Structure 1
């Protein structure tokens, strides 16, 4: 407030220090008077002192009068220390509301832009001693960093820069540089790249200036079509994983989960798996299908495969040949009513026909397939468990079984067919 005046004394000359002036007059209900008459004219105000341009930075704004605002920006690689905007304040002494900021090269940080600059602390001056600085370049998945050094000078052997292909201390080092030779350009093959700088207690040098730019990484090879199975996963970029599952009756050969690797040649960390029908195995599902080896292709020659089917105690097993095409007599399937070949035989099946069936009096069935050295074939046997009353003969079993075992919700696939 410039002043408050009352009575008959004429106030002294007043000078405002702003481009705006607020005047308020108040009178009560009693004595009236002549009031006041004042004149004003515009006068130039003194300006705030010109703020200095920060080293390695820019000043935006050329007016320094009251309420004028000046802003500051740093060159790429430098961080603003202080306020990015300052304002010229009113008052008898003209000054800025904050001191001008500085632009400094920091020890470490995080860079998430698609391109940028990293600097050693103090650049272009010498870096301090005893530094351990880490910068993280974090790009969207599917992008790597192309790194190019513009300046480089460090104490040979003792002070160095490491570029790591990943976010961890243990990530693969793709470049380690020391001395005065300018490093060549580098390509990281991860969307996360680490830049690490170390200086010891002795000689100090100007350090480094590097720039990076994101580039799109290739995907790992498409694993589909995946025969007799399904592939689950969101994508095939570096660091992403996919999983493989086989259709019922098939067995996964290989690793069930693959991860797209880093590297200039994009590939999965293991060979692609495959789904095959195994030659025999233990089957513990309550229903399913046993396929011939190699299904839906013809089975190989000279095969001897054994399957043991097991359902809960108190149940029998019904088997139905939905497909049977074998070399008559030379290639055949033998089924026993029990877990061993000493159990009663339910039949020997061969030739070219289907809709043949068998039914056990036990909760276990042993099946053996034999093929000779000539001609192939194919077969598929559907089976399910039967809930049965007590019985003493196969005929009684067939008369008293009450039908298939009721399916359970979301039965997991178990066993090898």
Structure 2
């Protein structure tokens, strides 16, 4: 029965705080001019997930980013349709789980739902406290207040925003003493230091959050023949979005010393020229506490200590002109730069040629060794956003692969590691892995394994550390199937059997049963060749039913045949 004209129906779905809702259409047929709108929130001021008419919602599953969905169904005065039946998919149980177009009341069920992604804990300002904390899921708020004698700077209420990128709508406020002068006024956006032997550079507003959309440039110029050293006292910027760049000389020289973001305290930076340029750029979104940098000037008499790369080692300690040092990386890491560098002197300038390398965990690659490690990009630090990394492991065909998880932590529901039993993503999927639960050891059925890591544009976790090893096969390869036949048995270990049967009308050529044995060459293999199913030229058939095929069917028969088929049935037929 069709729905009526001129209706305005509202359906509200609510689950527990911190949970989400999946909703899909089991049936969906609306007449032209009639529409269902679905909002990602508790009313129609929320973001629209979709507006559907006709049969547009069939095959679509919508996922909320909060614990509410709001549905509005409108019909006009023209033709009507069958309507719709929507089902929310709840992992734990169904409770008021059907929404139909014929309902007249507002359905407001309380469901269990799936876990939503949370905003990170914003912390508590110094000399302040939380008045209320509703949790860190989409739509929840935290309210702050300052201790007596302090005044709040910033928003007193933070709200966890909906959408793919979980973040608070404002930076953490600060509590400033009423009798003290505001220290954040002293930290300006950019400046020039000339002839000063030491000093300090602070991000705007430090130690309080810097502003959005900044473009700040500082230039440090010391006496000729001297170099500039930078030491980081504090560093906290939004990873991959708010970037600090350090140049040896002016930027137009294109001599980059470092590009930094995140919350890891950087190592010291040393120039080879008497000038350093520092540029800080922020985006429109999240703000952090920023940075404090101390600079100093010194006379260059030799090359600076090239250091030891993180996740690597160095051989050689010389720093005089002509001295060389070499580097290598720990297993699983790749050297970015040259393995060998030399100390060079040009007038009063001392520098390494080329620049000292670093060891990074690469995003993907082809691995052919009998054992090795696979690391998420940047490991052991959080992996970058929006990464697509693919690894192919291929070893000798006499071996299979064993993959062990040493550590594993990626963002649930948004970042995934896919592992395939074969050379590419069209191979059988062994598993899709997420969250922080350490998976069990897995093995391939052949000598290749394909791994694909996908991260989204927001939250990052610590990542993963995997170890693979090649091991001798203890089973036969998949024997395959026969045309016009079927196979019974899917275990290929030593001693296992598989049996083949032909479809009606075909005759088995060869042995029907194969056994996996250890061959004379020490490798597992099948004791017989694969049989085939052939359509014979002539046959004698009995029984109440059967099949008669021309020779070689379904392929063409050949010339020069004379085939006789005899069919016998019981006397009563």
Does the pair score TM above 0.5? no
TM bin, normalised by shorter chain, reads 0.3 to 0.5
* Structure in which a larger fraction of residues adopt strand: 2
TM, length-normalised to structure 1: 0.44
